[in-house]
Homo-oligomer: A and B are copies of this chain.
Amino acid sequence: MGKVTIKDVAREAGVSISTVSNALNDVDVLNPETKSHVLEVAKRLNYVPNLNGKLLKSGTTKMLGFFTTSVAGPYFYTLVESMSRECDRLGYGLNVFVTTDKQIIMSNILGGRVDGVVIFEELRIDDQDIAAMEKNKVKAVFLDRVIRSEGMGSVIFDSYEAGYEATRYLISLGHRKIAYISGVDTMFDSVQRKEGYLAALREAQFPVDEDYILQGYFEEEGSYNAVKSFIHNHPGKLPDAFLAGNDLSAIGCIRALKSLGYDVPNDISVVGFDDIDIAQYFSPPLTTVRNQIARQGMLVVNHLVRMIQNKEQGKVEKLAGELIVRGSSHIKLSRPS
Contacts and interface: CB of A to CB of B under 8 A. Distances in A.
Interface string A277-314: 11001110000000000000000000000000000000
Residue among A72, A98, A113, A132 with the most chain B CB within 10 A?
A98
Nearest to A50: B112
Contacts of A84: 71, 98-99
A104 B46 CA distance: 15
Contacts of A234: none
A77 interface: yes
Given A71-B71, A104-B93, A51 B281 contact: no
Given A72-B77, A77-B76, A98-B94, A107 B52 contact: no
Nearest to A136: B3
Copy number in this complex? 2
A111 B48 contact: yes
Contacts of A278: 277-278, 281
A81 B98 contact: yes
Say which size band chain A's interface belongs to.
Answer: 35 or more
A9 to B, nearest CB: 14
B99 A96 contact: no
Contact of A56 (B56, B99, B110): B56
A268 to B, nearest CB: 20
Contacts of A53: 56
A31 to B, nearest CB: 26
A101 interface: yes
A88 B81 contact: no
A77 B88 contact: no
B70 A81 contact: yes
Interface string A36-64: 00000000001011111111100000000
A24 to B, nearest CB: 12
Interface of A: 1-4, 46, 48-56, 70-73, 76-78, 80-81, 84, 88, 93-101, 104, 106-108, 110-113, 131-132, 135-137, 277-278, 281-283
25 contacts: A3-B136, A3-B137, A46-B131, A48-B107, A48-B110, A48-B111, A48-B132, A49-B111, A50-B111, A51-B108, A52-B111, A52-B112, A52-B113, A70-B81, A71-B81, A71-B96, A80-B96, A80-B98, A84-B99, A95-B95, A96-B98, A278-B281, A281-B282, A281-B283, A283-B283
Given A46-B135, A51-B113, A81-B98, 6 more contacts: A46-B132, A48-B110, A49-B111, A51-B112, A54-B111, A88-B100
A-B complex: 7 closest residue pairs judged by Cβ atoms: A51-B111, A84-B98, A96-B96, A48-B110, A52-B56, A52-B55, A72-B81
